[in-house]
A and B are shown apart, each in its own frame.
Chain A
Amino acid sequence: MSAEVEEMLKRFMGLKNIVGVIVVDYDGIPIKTTLENQQSVHYAAHMQTLTEKARQVILDLDATNEFVAMRMRTTYFEIMLMPHENFFVVVIQNACD
């Protein structure tokens, strides 16, 4: 199964505009990443707090809803967060204008 994951990551990195993909586990530790270690640890820690906050917000606003994805568009990048049960995925891509 790990080979499939590697292949999928490679396929992602081959797409134009993608800067990095980080798969973070439940504790906020990046388990698979295409960026350098220090940077991905930094991203992972921040994204984890953000995912928790976003999940709380969605739950508070409507208890039947579930947080599915979040996209942040900044001046240089677009960061996408997708949570699952035990992990979440962060994808950083160039915002093409």
Chain B
Amino acid sequence: MKRSTKLRSEAPRAKAYDGDAFVNHFAHRGAREIIVMDSSGRPMRSTVSQRRSYAYASHLYALATMARNVVRDLDPSNDVTFMRLRATRQEVHISINQDFIVVVIQRLRKHKENH
């Protein structure tokens, strides 16, 4: 029987969203970072640090607006409702609604190679 030496790590700080069912539902699937923005791209609620959520919000809002312009240009009655951006280690899901934009960032597991 092997005895593994465990590094004692400090306990994570208690956050305001700890018991939140919405956040836990996503965390179950590896998505720990959730940012809720209003329709003009300002982050309202987020589970990441403020600096990072501003960075994410500004970049992703710009991308979402550009995608919406592209789709509207190709067909004026069309409008983007959801976007998925896949990178090698993450997948970003952006849900675009009339009053707000929700961004969920999921960490992909290493063996998950698609396409």
How many pairs, one residue from A and one from B, have CB atoms within 8 Å of each other in the complex? 83
Q: How far is the CB of A33 from chain B (nearest CB, A)?
A: 14
The closest CB in chain A to the CB of B88 belongs to A66
- Indicate if the CB atoms of A50 and B60 lie closer than 8 Å: no
- Indicate if the CB atoms of A49 and B70 lie closer than 8 Å: yes
Chain A residues with CB under 8 A of B59: 57, 60-61
Chain B residues with CB under 8 A of A66: 87-88
Chain B residues with CB under 8 A of A68: 86-88, 115
**Interface assignment of A10: CB less than 8 Å from any CB of chain B:** no
**Interface assignment of B25: CB less than 8 Å from any CB of chain A:** no
Q: Which of B67, B73, B87 has the most CB of A within 10 A?
A: B87
The closest CB in chain B to the CB of A68 belongs to B86
Q: How far is the CB of B39 from chain A (nearest CB, A)?
A: 17
**Interface assignment of A12: CB less than 8 Å from any CB of chain B:** no
